[in-house]
Structure formats: C-alpha cells, structure tokens
Structure 1
Amino acid sequence: MRAIAIALLAGLTTVGVAAPAAQASAAGRAPSCLAYKLDDRGAQDELWVWNNCKKAVNFRVRLANGPDSYCTYKEPRSTYSKFTWEWPQRFDGLITC
C-alpha cells in the first residue's frame, strides 16, 4: 500500500511539472503580418506594433531580461500599439497568446 501511495505522489509531481511546459508551448511565434517598428537606440526602447493581418490577433511582446508584456488584442488594420521598456531589457520578438 505504501508503494502505491509513493507511486501516486510521484505521478502527481510529474503532472504538476509538465503543465507549465504545455502552457508555454501553446504560445507560438506571431504571424508575419503583425508588423512592428523598434527604436532601441537609447536607454528606453520603444516598439510600435500594427496588425496588417486579415483577422484579429492576440500577441505579447517577449522581452529578454524582463517580464513579457500583457496579452494585447489587435483588430485587423487598426492603429498601432506602443510599448516601452528600459535597459537591460531587450526585445526578443512577438508571440501569440
């Protein structure tokens, strides 16, 4: 009975560890029709993102050395969204969410 309890606990631990990996793989690279312009010349970087896609897109700005942005919803052909961050954070791409 004790061996069964240990095996069950081990199985629960494995499931708990695997769940975040599954969530991380659900987010993929944003479509190429989601256009952006990056100005990273100063201590504060600025990014403008437009949706040139034929459908709405949910995306995040992925940053190295800092937290990613919140999930942003953009209608097709809508005006840009602007994002800013400071060094040492660095633009690492757009991902879907």
Structure 2
Amino acid sequence: MRASTIALLAAAGLATVAIAAPAQAAAAGRAPSCLAYTLDDDGAQDELWVWNNCKKGVSFRVRLANGPDGYCTYKEPRSRYSKFTWEWPQRFDGLRTC
C-alpha cells in the first residue's frame, strides 16, 4: 500500500500508522534477489516455495496483502526450499528482510 493511501486512511481513522525508526526501516527492506521463489496462485489456496541462492544466510518474512504477514524465517545459504501456504482473499505481496 502506498504511503499516501496509508496517510489518507489514518487521517480518516481507518488505519493505525506506526513510524519505524530509520535503523528498523533499513533492516526491514526488500529481500535480496538471490532469495528465489516460485508462486502458485491459481486456486483458493496459494503456495509459495522459497530457497536461498545467496552466499550468506538470509532472514525474511512473506508479506501478504489482506492478511497477516508470515513469521520471520532464516534460510541457510544454498539451502533447500521452504513452503508457505495461505487462503484467499490473502495474496502474495513480496519478501522482506527481518
């Protein structure tokens, strides 16, 4: 969701806005591109497989729209995939570091 949309919703009393400290904002950024994934979102239940092709371990969180985000997960470098699932109306909104 865009910052301007969040600000409008907060002003209307429809959303609570928490401002992250600069260090927290930098730490919770977009996951590196070497953290690869495959998404199957063809049915009522979506499935996501994530594996780490990076040279170092990565902690990440699955971001979902219309629902709570996933928990913070650590993947060793060159590790086997992890599988995540969720139900509609939630949808995949990206991977973030944590």
Write the letter of the residue equivalent to 1:39. D
Question: For each residue in 1:58-94, what CA deviation from the matched residue of structure 2 results, as whole angstroms up to 9, or x when unmatched?
Answer: 0000000000000000000000000000000000000
TM-score (norm 1): 0.77
Aligned residues with identical type, % of pairs: 84
Aligned length: 80
1:21 to 5, 12, 19: 19
Higher-Rg structure is: 1
Q: Which has the higher helix share?
A: 1
Runs of 5+ unmatched residues, structure 2? 1-16
CA distance in 2, matches of 1:31, 1:47: 17
